[in-house]
Amino acid sequence: MGERQARVDYLLWAGAQLAQGDRTCPGCGDNHSRLVRRKYWVTSLRECPNCHLRFRLPKETSERAEKLYKRETYRQGFTTALPSQEELSRLLETHFAGTEKDYAPYVEVLRSLLAPGATILDFGSSWGYGSWQIERAGFVVFSYEVGQDRARYAREHLNCKMIEDLGTIAGTIDCLFSSHVIEHLPDPNLLFCEAARLLKPGGYLVCLCPNGNPDRERVDPNYHKVWGKVHPLYITPEFMRWACARHSLELSELSFPGRTNLSSELLTIARKTA
């Protein structure tokens, strides 16, 4: 399906959902959200006054998310496009340096938190580009990806340790690492619930996502281009504080070292306390 047709289908779907009128927050269930911005008449961004999550209306549904991600209809450039063997060889030879999937800054964050040999779950690993780089940095990496073709590619071409049943690793992981996944979820609490269940006591949740900080609206003209068809959630620092507290995770960081809270990417580091 072409991008134009996918956009048309999304707008038709969004228009059809308007009559349902469900404005409850996907994060906490509060029903007093305020309008932030409209887009294409049939969709809007709202903010919850309780947990401060920003979310798209119409909200994402579990059924639509399953169709989009599990059945391989999700297309997002480098993130999802499976490279040819020749392309992959070039990427591996350079360790992805100079590409949009160069994980060097993320690896440095992980090294600052974890000892060599620590176990990391790459939650939403796509076709394995991040898992491969993190493993080369000296960690034991397990990968979880709902898209079957991407998971198969990661296992067969990058030797990633793919996990189909997360229950098999419950309570054994030193770090749950998630790069640009939470903004796709129908319910953002899923990530925090999995972190609380899978991490060892003292283990870390390291989450990266687009920065939905309201202060960025006045400085970034691209702010409202990020939420929409494939990003039903826009994560604010205040929501991360609320969610970590709700799920007994001790928050320690809300931005990259050396970056400001107006950076386009939000880094959250939290620790399981018990």
Contact, 58 vs 20, CB < 8 A? yes
∠ CA 121-126-131, rounded to 5° = 45
137-190 per-position pLDDT tens digit: 999 999 999 999 999 999 999 999 999 999 999 999 999 999 999 999 999 999
C-alpha span between 155 and 136 (Å, rounded)? 15
Q: Which amino acid type is present at position 274?
A: A
Q: Is the pTM of this model over 0.85?
A: yes
Measured on CA atoms in the order 33, 34, 38, 41, is the torsion positive or negative? Answer: positive
- Confidence bin at 8 (pLDDT 50/70/90): low
